[in-house]
Amino acid sequence: MDRQNIAQNELYCMGTLISQKIFGPNSMHAIKASELEIKRLNNMLSRFVSDSDITKINSAAGLMPVMVSDEAFRLLKYSAECSRIYNGCFDITVGSIATLWNEYKIKKISPVRKDIRKQLAKVNFRDILFDPDNSSVLLKKKGQSIDLGGIAKGYASDKVLEVYKNFGIESAFVNFGGNVAVLGSKPDDSPWNVGIRHPRHKDSVIGVVAVKNKSVITSGDYQRYYIDNSGKHYHHILNPKTGYPANSGLISVTVVAESGVLADALSTIFFIAGVEKSIRILEYFPNIDVVFIDNDLNLSITPKLTCSFIPLDGIKVSELD
């Protein structure tokens, strides 16, 4: 393909490094538009942006409802629905407890049970009250806080693919700090080879999944972790039931799905729920594939993935029933 028909860049946004590669005659226009789209979404959905819809809701918690954009309203509704269905494994009101863990991380100290209990009392998705008539959202209790960290990047990847399509692009990928979405196939019509990071060796991959038109999203215990002053390791995926980092026996979960927003939510849910519960949830999603990696680096994959997944030599893989 002509060199000028390829556009690629890296930008820092949504708290992570985002890279994209686009093939096609409009690739230069598409990449600029997608950059604007990513910034727009960050300004709407980040709780760290002072005038985002989420910050407005969080600031008015326990006080008054806040009118938000239709788009933010829909995503919040979707997230709350995920919380309801997967009762307890996913909750976007983990903001207050995430803030507490960030403080621990900065000070490198071990968590204080009393503080966690106090913040945990503010975690409850049922306290998000929606008013569809005027697109307003209210958090019932003071100090409650919404954090879309478990879903926003997946949603953004879907939106970026839409931008690509609007420019007539048929071959591209975007990678939000490890949350990958691919459009179509590579220009030579072969599938994209998406590596799955080895959870214990940061410079290597544990396997490769070959995909077309899919999102490949991984939740792992090695992302944004910290080690406290006594040497204990804490990762960033919090179990909303306990207030502590999830400890389900899994160290990495990769979800392969057409929808990025669903893949993002499910990878978090599966990571927290563990293999057994995840298998039961998977019965409702026949088109979704998963790579589970447990503490002993054993891999288990959904049967459909057998043809498209290549593990690293020496890695044992079993098929889920």
Closest by CA position to 246, among listed 216, 215, 267, 217:
267
The verdict on 268 binding other proteins (CB under 8 A) reads: no
- Among 42, 52, 58, 218, indicate the residue that binds other proteins (CB under 8 A): 218
The verdict on 217 binding other proteins (CB under 8 A) reads: yes
- Among 195, 228, 242, 320, indicate the residue that binds other proteins (CB under 8 A): 195
The verdict on 16 binding other proteins (CB under 8 A) reads: yes
The verdict on 220 binding other proteins (CB under 8 A) reads: yes
3-state helix, strand, coil in the chain (%, to 5): 35, 25, 40
- Contact (Cβ atoms closer than 8 angstroms) between residue 139 and residue 62: yes
Considering only the stretches 34-42, 94-102, 153-161, 309-317, report the one whose residues sit in contact with other proteins under the rule CB under 8 A: 309-317
SS3 53: helix
Closest by CA position to 248, among listed 273, 224, 266:
273
SS3 273: helix
Smallest separation, CB 177 to other proteins (Å): 5
Return the number of other C-beta atoms located less than 10 Å from residue 80's C-beta.
Answer: 21
- Contact (Cβ atoms closer than 8 angstroms) between residue 94 and residue 144: no
- Among 76, 94, 216, 301, indicate the residue that binds other proteins (CB under 8 A): 216
- The size of the interface with other proteins (CB under 8 A), counted in residues, is 41
- Among 24, 95, 207, 274, indicate the residue that binds other proteins (CB under 8 A): 207
Distance CA 278, CA 260 (A): 18
Distance CA 177, CA 227 (A): 21
The verdict on 199 binding other proteins (CB under 8 A) reads: yes
Site for other proteins, residues 79 to 138, rule: CB under 8 A? none
Rg of the chain, C-alpha, whole Å: 20
Strands (DSSP E) along the chain, which ranges?
A: 6-13, 16-23, 66-67, 128-131, 136-139, 171-176, 179-183, 192-197, 205-211, 215-220, 226-227, 233-234, 250-257, 289-294, 299-301, 309-311, 317-319
Considering only the stretches 55-63, 145-153, 212-220, 276-284, report the one whose residues sit in contact with other proteins under the rule CB under 8 A: 212-220
CB closer to other proteins, 120 vs 217: 217
Smallest separation, CB 218 to other proteins (Å): 3
- Among 22, 148, 180, 257, indicate the residue that binds other proteins (CB under 8 A): 180
DSSP characters over 146-214: ---TTTHHHHHHHHHHHHHHHTT--EEEEEETTEEEEES--TTSPPEEEEEE-SS-TTSEEEEEEESS-
CB closer to other proteins, 102 vs 204: 204
Smallest separation, CB 307 to other proteins (Å): 16
Site for other proteins, residues 134 to 173, rule: CB under 8 A? 173
CB closer to other proteins, 73 vs 101: 101
Considering only the stretches 5-13, 60-68, 107-115, 295-303, report the one whose residues sit in contact with other proteins under the rule CB under 8 A: 5-13
CB closer to other proteins, 121 vs 275: 275
Distance CA 284, CA 282 (A): 5
The verdict on 58 binding other proteins (CB under 8 A) reads: no
The verdict on 245 binding other proteins (CB under 8 A) reads: no
**Sites of contact with other proteins (CB under 8 A):** 10-12, 16-17, 19, 21, 173, 175, 177-180, 186, 192-197, 199, 202, 204-205, 207-209, 216-220, 222-224, 252, 254, 310, 312-314
